[in-house]
Chains A and B, each alone.
Chain A
């Protein structure tokens, strides 16, 4: 079975620009979550999508938005980029009906975003 894949792996953007990051979830998973991980910190939850709708959101402003597609892949969009948005963006997938199960989320290797 394939794992979670993210693209691109690295990206450099200028402050004020917009960016789209992409994620393909693991086969059999129907839920995708996005996390932001600053250097030396733990992953911070941005939002989660299930059946193409957002069903959970962390403490991030509306300029962070997302989509989930029928094939369970997902996009994270960030508008009006700020310097503090520089971070590793991680995508994680799971099966919602198994959300209480004990095998956790499967993470991708992330997209390293640098805002200059």
Chain B
């Protein structure tokens, strides 16, 4: 099976940069995804890394190191609307179905 670890909560101020880490244990790794979910809303796909390195999409970037079984989501120029839960999800083990971590609650303060 797969297991993922991410911090339960991260706080930051508006305009700052924050990094949310994710470590995973799995076999047959395909890739790591990140999703954002606001309270009561649908998870929204943010990014996907299949290869080592940094993927940048606007204010959000995601990094993967397969040798370290580690990835992170970097959020720049934080805005109040970025307050949400962020989930890493791994595709592995012969299945393309993502397995989600428990999520990190990001709280952005003015």
Contact = CB atoms under 8 A, between A and B. Distances in A.
Q: Do A and B come from one complex?
A: yes
Nearest to B43: A107
A109 B48 CA distance: 21
Interface in A19-65: 33, 35, 40-45, 48, 56
Contacts of B103: 40-42
Contacts of A56: 95, 97
A66 interface: no
A52 to B, nearest CB: 18
Interface stretch (B13-21, B28-36, B70-78): B28-36
A4 interface: yes
Interface residues of B, number: 24
Given A43-B43, A43-B87, A109-B41, A103 B99 contact: no
Contacts of A108: 42
A7 interface: no
Given A33-B97, A41-B102, A109 B35 contact: no
Interface residues of A, number: 25
Contacts of B97: 33, 45, 48, 56
A45 B96 contact: no
A63 to B, nearest CB: 21
B106 to A, nearest CB: 14
Contacts of B35: 104, 107
B45 A99 contact: no
Contacts of B27: none
Contacts of A42: 87, 89, 100-103
Interface of A: 4, 33, 35, 40-45, 48, 56, 90, 92, 99-100, 102-110, 112
Top 4 A-B residue pairs of the complex, sorted by shortest distance between their CB atoms: A104-B45, A99-B96, A42-B100, A102-B48
16 contacts: A4-B42, A33-B97, A41-B103, A42-B87, A42-B101, A43-B100, A48-B97, A90-B42, A100-B96, A102-B31, A103-B48, A104-B35, A107-B42, A107-B43, A108-B42, A110-B42
